[in-house]
Amino acid sequence: MTIESNNKMVYDHILVRYGELSTKGKNKNDFIRRLHQNMKNALRNYPALEFERTHDRMYILLNGVDPDEIAPIISRIFGISSFSYALKVNSEIEDIIAAAYHSASQSGAKTFKVEARRHYKLFGMISDEINRAVATEILKNTEMKVDVHHPELRIMIEVRQFETYIMTNKLLGAGGYPVGVGGKSMVMLSGGIDSPVAAYLMMKRGITVECIHYASPPYTSPRAQQKVVDLAKILAAYQGHIRIHVIPFTELQLAIYKHADESYCITLMRRMMYRIAERLAQRQNCLAIVNGESIGQVASQTLESMNVINETVTMPVIRPVVTMDKLEIIALSEKIGTYETSIQPFEDCCTIFTPKNPVTHPVSRKAAAFEQKFDYDELIEDCLNKIEIIDVYPNQKNNTEEDLF
């Protein structure tokens, strides 16, 4: 145990509290194992760290690593309710009192509360007695006062059989389930505001995501594709790695505009995107298609449009932001760090040929009639045969401008 260095608390552990996975009964061990692996992956650049997991906690032995450096990483790992910097001491009351006192004396707080919890019920003192013993030492040797309702400092003590953890903070985790416990999905990542938020919400529910992006060169620029890569890089911080499948959509898109009435082009384009996404999802063992659609009044957002577009696939289509207002989606995109990238003014394939009056209440038979005018199956297969795969990791360096052009 290291108490202090240059008047700064030096912690030797981080204690991690599980999130919703604590309620999952017989699946709990699988969830804990997945969380353990996700944490090791996220913190792989810190080889000195050691991990110990129990049924209700996980402990990270820091071995000299600054907890402030890894706390932002831990805060983005789904499946964690909260975590605390901790001092580990022997389960002897003298050691507990000494560590708690030094924690309090270094805090700068004026009021405090002690919260002891005995996991080891055979410890020589009950929780209230531990609280009083620690508080007495602090009151005798500092000017701090007890405030049980709104303390500036909470001293949390967890007593186990051989060791006790002293904590003075509780940092919020990301909540949700560990990514990977719920299978895999294919996210239609356009580069806008909505689809990255949809991907984030899926990961929070324990779903691993891969992404599909439709590019229409030369009408869409390399900058538009790089924007999608940059968004995936931000999202990868929550998962560790994201694979993007870039679909060359130009020929299929031009065929749609050649053979269909202009008002139906958006509907047909979305139907083709769904077909491609489903075939790719099946190839990648994904169990659902995910997108950022919400209910609105533009061409692809009415219930009639969703119904006509959705009928082209049998795989479940999940729309995590379907009932959210745009301002709610923007607020969440700002929270997760994707907003500033999403609003960069690079056109995607959905905006380059926008018709003046797209149909908002399409009819299924009319859409099918337009599709019968050309061999879209062959064009879809051509798209799937020419996929570009990009693997993205957090903190990955961007390509240079020369690489893009």
Could you tell me the sign of the dihedral formed by the alpha carbons of 81, 87, 89, 94, in that order?
Answer: negative
Mean pLDDT, range 246-250, rounded to an integer: 94
Q: Are residues 145 and 292 in the same domain?
A: no
Same domain, 202 and 67: no
- Spatial separation of the C-alpha atoms in residues 232 and 395, rounded to whole Å: 11
**Distance between CA atoms of residues 62 and 336, nearest Å:** 27
For residue 195, the surrounding DSSP H or E stretch is helix 194-204
The per-residue pLDDT for 405 is: 26
Write down which residue in 175, 210, 227 finishes a domain.
175
Is the pLDDT at 395 greater than 90? The verdict is no
Say which range, 28-32, 44-48, 107-111, 338-342, has the weakest mean pLDDT.
28-32
The 10 Å CB-count burial string (b at 16+, else e) for 366-401 is: bbeebbeeeebeebbeebbeeeeebebebeeeeeee
User: Residue 400: is its pLDDT beyond 50?
Assistant: no
Q: 360 and 301 in one domain?
A: yes
pLDDT score of 285: 97
Confidence of residue 398 (pLDDT cuts 50, 70, 90): low
* Average pLDDT for 242-264: 93
**Which pLDDT band, with edges at 50, 70 and 90, does 404 fall under?**
very low
Element (H, E) at 229: helix 222-239
pTM over 0.75? The answer is yes
Model confidence at 2: pLDDT above 60 = no
Q: Give me the pLDDT at residue 249, please.
A: 93
State the pLDDT confidence band at 5, using cuts at 50, 70 and 90: very low
d(CA 91, CA 139): 22
pLDDT category at 403 given cuts 50, 70, 90 is very low
Looking at the structure, tell me whether residues 107 and 166 fall in a common domain: yes
pLDDT category at 19 given cuts 50, 70, 90 is confident
Tens of pLDDT, residue by residue over 202-228, are 999 999 999 999 998 888 888 889 999
> So what's the pLDDT on residue 402?
34
Amino acid at 307: N
Same domain, residue pair 164 and 231: no
Among 148, 175, 202, give the residue marking a domain's end: 175
Q: Are residues 23 and 113 in the same domain?
A: yes
Asked whether residue 7 carries a pLDDT value surpassing 60, the answer given is: no
Count the neighbouring beta carbons within 10 Å of the beta carbon of residue 53.
16
How many domains is the chain built from?
Answer: 2
Identify whether residues 194 and 163 lie together within a single domain. Answer: no
Q: What is the pLDDT of residues 73-120, one digit of tens each?
A: 999 999 999 999 999 999 999 999 999 999 999 888 999 999 999 999
Beta strand 317-318 with 388-392 is unpaired
Q: What is the CATH number of the domain that holds 58?
A: 3.30.2130.30
CATH code assigned at 360:
3.40.50.620
For residues 79 and 196, membership in a common domain is answered with: no
**Of the residues 175, 193, 224, the one at which a domain ends:** 175
- 205 and 164 housed in the same domain: no
Q: Which residue has the tokens 């700064």?
A: 8
Distance of alpha carbon 131 from its chain centroid, rounded? 38
Q: What is the structure's pLDDT at 118? A: 94
CA angle 387, 391, 393 (to 5 degrees): 160
Q: Which long-range contacts (CB under 8 A, 24 or more apart) does 333-336 make?
A: 333/193, 333/196, 333/197, 336/196, 336/197, 336/200, 336/234, 336/235, 336/238
Q: What is the separation of C-alpha 334 from the centre of its chain, rounded to a whole number of angstroms?
A: 13
* Full residue range of the structural domain in which residue 97 is found: 4-175
User: So what's the pLDDT on residue 252?
Assistant: 94
Task: Give yes or no: residues 29 and 108 share one domain.
Answer: yes
Nearest to 237, CA basis, from 20, 81, 74: 74
Q: Is the pLDDT of residue 399 over 80?
A: no
Q: How does pLDDT run across 255-307, given as a tens digit for each residue?
A: 999 999 999 999 999 999 999 999 999 999 999 999 999 988 666 789 999 99
Q: Secondary structure of 278-331 in the HEC alphabet?
A: HHHHHHCCCCCEECCCCCCCCCCCCHHHHHHHHCCCCCCEECCCCCCCHHHHHH
Q: How far apart are CA 271 and CA 273, in angstroms?
A: 5
Asked if 342 contacts 397 with a C-beta cutoff of 8 angstroms, the reply is no
94 and 225 in one domain? no
Indicate whether 92 and 199 sit together in one domain.
no
Q: Give the span between the Cα atoms of 231 and 47, in whole angstroms.
A: 28
